[in-house]
Amino acid sequence: MKKFAIPTLLLAATALVLHFLFVDYNHANETVYFGGPILTMSDAQPRVEALYVKNGKILAAGTKAEVMQAKSRRATLTDLQGKTLLPGFFDAHGHLDLATALYGMTDISGFTHRTPEGVWNAVAQKVKATPKGEWIFCLGYDPILTKGLEPPSTAFLDSLAPDHPVALIAQTMHSYYANSKAFQAAGITAQTPDPSSSSYYERDSSGQLTGLIVEQAAFEPFRAIMQEKLMDSFVENTQKVLAKNAQKGITSTVTMGLMTVNKNILMLYQDLSGEKVKPLHNLIRITGAFPERKPNLRHFVFLMERFSGYLPKPKNRGDDFFRFMGVKLWYDGSPYIGSMYMSRPYLASRYNLEAIHLPPGHRGEALLQPEQLEAAIRKYQSDGWQVAIHCQGDRAIAEALGAFGRVHQEAPLNARRHRLEHLLMLPYDQIATMQEMGISPSFHINHILYYGDFLQSDILGPERTQQLLPVNQFAAKQIPFSLHADQPMYEADPLSLASTAVNRQSESGLAINPAEAVSVWEALKSITIYAAWQLKMESKLGTLEKGKYADLVVLDKNPLETPAGAIARIQVLETIVAGNTVWKK
């Protein structure tokens, strides 16, 4: 008897271990949706009466009678009770890692504090509550929304926090301010070379640091410290940011230029979003380092070029739930710190000359040489990756398209679906060039909502402001484009983006290039099927059609029947990924 007992125990133990290594949440689901508007976002069949979902896929979409005939007896019947069902939304360009790192930081934004006193009181309270010597990071410095907020000098920040290293992160994420202890801790002195002429540590006439840090390369020593300090809460905060995005109806998020990269973070992202659990991840879960697996948002990742070594071989890029897409390059910077690259100078406004100290005639400059950009496009394209390029100014956009054009002459780009990001000043005469090469735009549309007045009065003037963000040049021809919030610059809120694209007004009501307003239908396509197309996922996501994944969002109102001015106030009631609810109000 004993000779049989040992093998039996070994088999049982082996089975138990194998079960544990591969155990995952239940992916099974079966639901019929009916009783409210179901907007498929397909031009061929824009609306259906009912939808049948089984095990994450749409098995039928049509009349209620057709769907009821197709379902099994086990299906759950969900009456929408007049609520509206759409495909899940895409956050087409965000920074999950940055949003995670900044989550819970002291908020000094203009959305919260409309007076300078409010901003500095918030910093002072954080200093008071923080043990001496510990780092303090504050998020959202914004002299545009907070009227009268003057740039803080190193001496001023030293007076607020004589015993703490302090760094303020601008709302635009392209400029920063630090006190003396922060510079000292980061190893930056007045003699430290600037990374480049467009990313630097500002100095006064005597050569001393003023406290201003411009663009990403110069901030990198501070970012590395921030990452180290915040790693203890990284897993928890990642889950919180994903949950917050789900509350806005987002089912797919795109990290556009992952900046916080190591093998553990990439494994975490894969574990949170990947279709199937990996045995190694379940072993890590034993230690408590990874959370319990549950349905989550899809995650598509573009890496910063300096982390491109983490890209796998294209055949191992991932699955339909977590996938590496390619590389993001920065060719210029932000309109609000003088690093946007333009053909004509910034306005000679008080803000430009005195607040951010731009010299007269300043036009910004490229962060890369054109030949560097061209070489990068050629390299990553030949390796099978998509290339996305940050371009705000008209000159930056023209030069980036010139680099694409030279590669296009060697090997057509049309099937690659490369992208240009932000495109604040996209010149009308460059649109045909984009279309010829199949390069699609992702528009940072809420520049209009939050900063439209300031762009017109202080940055560009009326003529150029009234030519910004020509979205309808694409929508009118049904050429794919997407809208994005650049989270954490702005909150990831696709309905807000759609609303701005439709209304083209700032918060004050100033109309910005109103001829480029798009229809509600096209705005919704930009946050669903068009965004899916940019990721080469249009055959699986973005519309509610048979055979596609059941990524869904339930809204309290039908956007097509809602007054244009009320679209941003539509409420998300439920968010569903592959048939599984990831958030419900």
The model's pLDDT over 109-139, given as tens digits with 9 standing for 90+, comes to 999 999 999 999 999 999 999 999 999 999 9
Decide if pLDDT at 399 tops 60. Answer: yes
pLDDT digits (tens, 9 = 90+) for 335-394: 999 999 999 999 999 999 999 999 999 999 999 999 999 999 999 999 999 999 999 999
- Residue range(s) in the chain whose domain bears CATH number 3.10.310.70: 96-229
State the Cα–Cα distance between residues 54 and 316, nearest whole angstrom.
Answer: 28
Contacts of 343 (CB under 8 A, 6+ apart): 363, 393, 394, 395, 398
CATH 3.40.50.1100 for domain 96-229, yes or no, is: no
Q: What is the mean pLDDT of residues 175-200?
A: 94
* 8 Å CB contact between 326 and 386: yes
Sheet holding 136-141, edge to edge: 106-107, 136-141, 166-170, 175-178, 209-214, 200-203
Confidence at residue 232, expressed as pLDDT on a 0 to 100 scale: 80
Angstrom distances, CA of residue 84 to CA of 58, 80, 290, 490:
17, 7, 35, 26
Contact call for residues 483 and 443 (beta carbons, < 8 A): yes
pLDDT of the residue at 21: 72
Q: Which CATH architecture has domain 327-544?
A: Alpha-Beta Barrel (3.20)
pLDDT surpasses 60 at 20: no
Q: Are strands 89-94 and 250-258 parallel, antiparallel or unpaired?
A: parallel
Mean per-residue pLDDT of the chain = 94
Which pLDDT value is given to residue 1?
43
Phi, psi for 579 (deg, rounded to 5): 80, -5
Q: Environment class of residue 335 by beta-carbon count within 10 Å: exposed (0-12), middle (13-18) or buried (19+)?
A: buried
Cα 289–292–295 angle (5° rounding)?
A: 130
Q: According to CATH, where is 3.20.20.140 located in the chain?
A: 327-544
| Structure tokens given for 474 | 């694409």
DSSP H helical ranges for 486-568: 494-503, 520-526, 529-534
Cβ atoms within 10 Å of 329's Cβ, excluding its own: 24
Confidence (pTM): 0.93
* Strand runs labelled E in 80-128: 84-87, 89-94, 106-107
* Cα separations in angstroms, 390 against 304, 309, 401: 11, 20, 12
The pLDDT of residue 197 is above 90: no
